Amino acid sequence: MHSSGRKRPNVTRPAKAKRSAARRSAASSLSWKLVSASRQHTDRLGQMIGRMLRGGETIALYGPLGAGKTALVRGIAQGLGASPQTVTSPTFVVIHEYDQGRLPLTHVDLYRIRTPHELESIGLIEYFSGRAVTAIEWADKGFTALPQDRIDITLHHRTARSRTIQLCATKSKSGEFLSRLRRQYNKAGKIFRISLRSRGATKS
């Protein structure tokens, strides 16, 4: 078969282009990385998360000791309307429940969990239904029990004062939440940063 020699015209495929753009948008909404310059910054992020929660969300927290997991939970508690002073690491009790805010908050620390039997014995799965928000430190130790739709937050030391914070959504509900949170964070970004500078950075 001989080619006619004619060049094929450029054909636009708007439907395909829209699908590609939608996939890129969805992917970007599922993961978000930022730098926390201080403990106040981490706390403010937690407060913003708390204010935007609607109930029933699971927040899985990962990261080494001293990375700011508990500080973030204190901010979430404050954003929900509970007193942040009441929030401490529940390492020895494993689970603390706070119901002073507009939504109940369950704070879990799996640091001392060693076996699947220990994980099962604390009844973690029972907290994933209803209106309560569940925040889990050392969530990697209970990974198999976590709900599929959740918000994963990983904190790492960057410098003595700063931290990197990676937020990831695993399904549609958490993806919609993370998208709303990111828009709100960007919208309030300038005021957020000025306020933090005026307070001064302190060690996380």
- CATH number, residue 151: 3.40.50.300
Domain count, the chain: 1
Asked if residue 174 belongs to a domain, the reply is: yes
Sign of CA dihedral 42, 110, 52, 164: positive
What's the confidence (pLDDT) of residue 26? 46
What's the confidence (pLDDT) of residue 87? 81
Asked if residue 2 belongs to a domain, the reply is: no
For residues 107, 172, 157, 45, the Cα torsion angle rounded to the nearest 10 degrees is -70
Asked if residue 10 belongs to a domain, the reply is: no
What's the confidence (pLDDT) of residue 153? 98
Residues of the chain short of pLDDT 70, as ranges, are 1-29, 90-92, 189-204
Asked if residue 122 belongs to a domain, the reply is: yes
Q: Are 55 and 69 in contact (CB under 8 A)?
A: no
Integer Cα distance of 11 and 21 in angstroms: 18
Asked if residue 5 belongs to a domain, the reply is: no
| Integer angstrom CA distances of residue 150 from 22, 59, 135, 174, 184 | 21, 6, 10, 6, 19
pLDDT digits (tens, 9 = 90+) for 42-58: 999 999 999 999 999 99
Asked if residue 12 belongs to a domain, the reply is: no
Q: Residue 158 belongs to what domain range?
A: 33-197
Provide the 10 A C-beta neighbour count for residue 187.
10
The whole-model pTM stands at 0.79
Task: Look up residue 4 and give its amino acid.
Answer: S
Asked if residue 65 belongs to a domain, the reply is: yes
What's the confidence (pLDDT) of residue 198? 52
What's the confidence (pLDDT) of residue 84? 79
Asked if residue 202 belongs to a domain, the reply is: no
